[in-house]
Amino acid sequence: MSEKAEFLKSVDVSRETLERLEGFQQLLIKWNGAINLVSPHTIRQIWSRHFLDSAQIFDLSEGGSGLWMDIGSGGGFPGLIVAILAAEKRPDLSVMLVESDRRKAAFLTTVAMKLGLKVTVKVDRIEALPPANCDILSARALAPLSDLLGYAARHLAKDGICLFPKGIRWRDELAEAAKNWSFSHEQFPSLTDKDAVILKMKEPVHV
């Protein structure tokens, strides 16, 4: 079974959403040689390593509307995948992508425009932005959990949630974060890495 078929087996999408995903794939391959959006050795695994890995984060979110803030968006994971899925499944959801690298931000803006996505791209460092009061905050491969919770405490709405995919050392990161932060959390096994989880976190408070 092809990677795309495996993705479609796990994620139910319309023909229009599939066409947007295929368009994103083409743009990612086109731009990657120039600005290294994703590691070259994963470019042949786009549908599993990047698309499915991001789609599973969307599936753990809550509600139908509000603001989803993705920080350190890079090549668009999970933020652009969230926006593509939301266009079909949660059309009232707004997506904000935060990326300080101007070339990567230009890529994100181009993809959003060409695919007709409801996306705002902020070209800045996350700590420099005014509080966003977002309902969902996500970050993939950006920073240690302790740092992510600091960003969440600044930008998350009172009842908002964080969705952070973490690798094999996720237990160590949780223990380290608990030294300085109070929070509630659940962990969900990753569909793409047996040693990884997605941490769903709420109410981060520095202690």
pLDDT of residue 54: 95
- The whole model's pTM is what? 0.95
Flag whether 3 is marked binding: no
**Among 115, 45, 55, which Cα is nearest to 85's?**
55
Q: Is the pLDDT of residue 105 over 80?
A: yes
Average pLDDT, integer, range 35-48: 86
CA–CA distance, 167 with 115 (Å, rounded to integer): 31
How far CA 74 is from CA of 36, 50, 148, 170, 202, in Å, comes to 10, 12, 16, 22, 24
pLDDT of residue 53: 93
Flag whether 58 is marked binding: no
pLDDT of residue 117: 96
Average pLDDT, the chain: 94
Flag whether 160 is marked binding: no
pLDDT of residue 1: 65
Dihedral sign for Cα 47, 83, 141, 36, please.
positive
pLDDT of residue 44: 81
Average pLDDT, integer, range 162-166: 97
Flag whether 77 is marked binding: yes
User: Which residue has 């600091």 as its token pair?
Assistant: 150
Q: Is the pLDDT of residue 142 over 80?
A: yes
What are the pLDDT digits (tens) for 189-204?
999 999 999 999 999 9
Tokens of 92: 């009232």
Average pLDDT, integer, range 114-135: 95
pLDDT of residue 40: 81
- % the chain with pLDDT above 90: 88
Flag whether 164 is marked binding: no
- % the chain with pLDDT above 70: 100
pLDDT of residue 111: 98
Domains in the chain with CATH codes: 3-206 (3.40.50.150)
Using only C-alpha atoms, the chain has a radius of gyration, in whole angstroms, of: 16
